[in-house]
Structure 1
Amino acid sequence: MTTPPSPDDDPAAPEPPPPWALPDTRAPAAEAPAAPPDETSPADDPEPSPTAGERPGRARTNGLAIAALVTGAVGLVLFAIAFAVAALVQIRRRGGGGRGLALGGLGASAAWLAVAAVIAVMFGDSLFSAGEAEADPRQRDGYVLSSTLKVGDCFTAQTHDPADPNVYPSPCASPHNGEVVAKATLPAGPFPGVQRLAAQAAALCKERTPDNVKKIVDDDFDARTELPKRKDWESGKRTVTCTLVYVGEDKSLTAPLSRAVITPRHEAMFEQGECLEKWDESMTPPVVDCDLPHQFQVLATYKLQGKEYPGIKKLEKMASEGCARRAADIWKGDPPPDRVSATFATPTKQQWRLGYRDVYCLITGGNNGPLKRSFVPKK
């Protein structure tokens, strides 16, 4: 599987347009005509009066200042601020009227921003995340906390989010994927902390899980717990709700777990300690007596978790680390001789899509030739 190259700038693409800037092309206000020279000496008429019918000249109101006030009044905050700043700059450079209008536009914008801030505090995410609420089924009517259900109640839950405690109650005879299997109250005492509380709850839920379900939990079910919050714990509510959510290949259940017929996922082909004459991906490798020459011996088998195929490199890293841990547990301080080397076999991408998650940790003689005895104890 290849990773698509990172998208770079296309050299043939046109140059992006320059950042928008408010044009400053308005012609300067026409200057008032110069007054005719005053023929009267200041000594003769110290306080001359204007000629009858003549009006004194007034500074022209800046158009951007008017636009700032109008857009600010109707809530177009970004436009109002841009117009107001441009107007104030022009008035300072060229003179003219409208400074009060520009400031009024800024004041109206500030008022709109204050109102928006108050609404955000009052309503939180409910106002500004409507799109998320529509896409997230947890927000739809009918979803409840799993702790509100009784033992034996069935529900439908999110399979991709194990931490989500919201479920949709469903009749056990209808398609569903989860069931409340147990409820238990933890002993009184100081709040133990989230991590310790989760460990206590997991152990308690495992103990209370019905015996007929325990054997299929690891592969086909997610065991989930809803824990009490600190404030609930301190108020005496210490109940843990244990649920199982089906993640197997049948997609959904149509009966209570006590009566459900669940086909477990395939079992591993080989067990720890079995010796294989060879390894062939296209067929089942034959198992032989370990005293006879053989190419491989099974050190351990285990299943990987996850729904999406992780890719070859990550898959091999996961398998290598998992096999190393199991080799250390099996051999402890007594590893096999140097002529034995470790390897592993992982599912292909196609097998992963079919639900196969088995990893086989193997040992082999490699270039030293076939193995002629067992190096791994059987279970």
Structure 2
Amino acid sequence: MSIPPPPGPHQPAPAQGPSPAPDPYAPPPQGQSPYGPPALGPQPYGQPQGPQPYGQPQGPQSYGQPYGQPYGPPYQTWGQGYSPYARPSSVNGLAIASLVLGVLCCFPGVGLLLGVIALVQIRKKGQSGKALAITGSILSSLGLALWVLVLATGGLSDAWEGFKKGATEGTAFSVVKGQCFVAPGESLEGLTYDVKEVPCAGEHEGEVFGAFRMTGSTFPGDSAVSDAADAKCYPLRDAYVMDTWALPEDVDVYYFGPTRQSWRLGDREVTCIFGNTDEKATLTGSLRADESTLDADQVALLKSLNAMDTVLWEEPEEYPEDDLPGYQDWSRDVHGTLDRQIGALRAHSWPAKADKPVAALVKDLEKARAEWAKAVTAAENDDIDTFYTHYDKGYAYVDGSSTVTARKALGLATKRPTYDEDYGDGGGDSTGGELDV
């Protein structure tokens, strides 16, 4: 290869002024090598001929010095929106849903169906989640089998009945006879959702003394519940507190009964309770005075006295002038009750301290029995004035001095209570507190 001579003086001088920088990506001029002019001499074997591409420096460079022209981009960069790595496959949504329903066991049939569909989609679309779909299908199959077994054996009906029983018993009232409680609203009026049992020795809003169940398929109405409570709670009161004279004057009968909503769940229970007539006041100590707290002599006397009180409270509502036949029948009942209780008191063996006081009481009751017998005769003869005479004398022996003396001898309350005129109709200003479920 020949080497062209160096330029001499006969060659034209270069143009003045800065030359534009060559475009490294533009095609070379016609007849010119893309790598510039050839090197000025023979190159060693294996070395490229002429200057190195991409701005390779001419001549030796010291360590740490830049290599002449910067390198150009020798490779194509990645385009926007394209990732050089493979994306993972998506998880099938139906497989996840099948697993959730299988775990919850609420809709096993749906969970099994979704699991089967998910396996088909995973195979066609190449998605992941096969293990989820299989697990969900298995759990749903087990749940479906369990549902079939429950329906076949009647377990679902039993479970529903148990739920209703728990709902009514757990929310209707959480305390039973003999227990005391505090109400959340510190009142026995209106609606009550729940109560908390507390010891009767301390302060409390109410004390349960009895309960009864109503019947019927449809809710009878609030007034019917109130009437039933008035009719049945007071006899339960007398059985719980046999010594009725021991009841404080500020204590009255209240009740908790079912509402229209709780009735639908099977709630039929009416709970009878003691409460203070003052909403801001409380009770202290148990009021219970029955056979579980009294001795045999006290119980014997109270049974006779309470039986006589009960028949007296059954007096007709009308005046004798308006219902003399009714008073005749009632006077006969009073006479018969006195006769039976006199026999019971005479038959009981009393302790020495109570023997004479009880004997004096029996004599007064015998006199009262004679007066009521005469009242029956007067009513039969339509002699209203004579009836009133024996009516008043018969009442004079009730709760007389001999009754107080006999009570004192046996350690019972001796302060006569002030009776409410409405007692015969259910008595008291009872206020029904209804329970909501």
Structure 1 and Structure 2 fold alike (TM over 0.5): no
Q: Rg bigger for which structure?
A: 2
**By percentage of residues, which structure has more helix?**
2
TM-score for the superposition, normalised by structure 2? 0.25
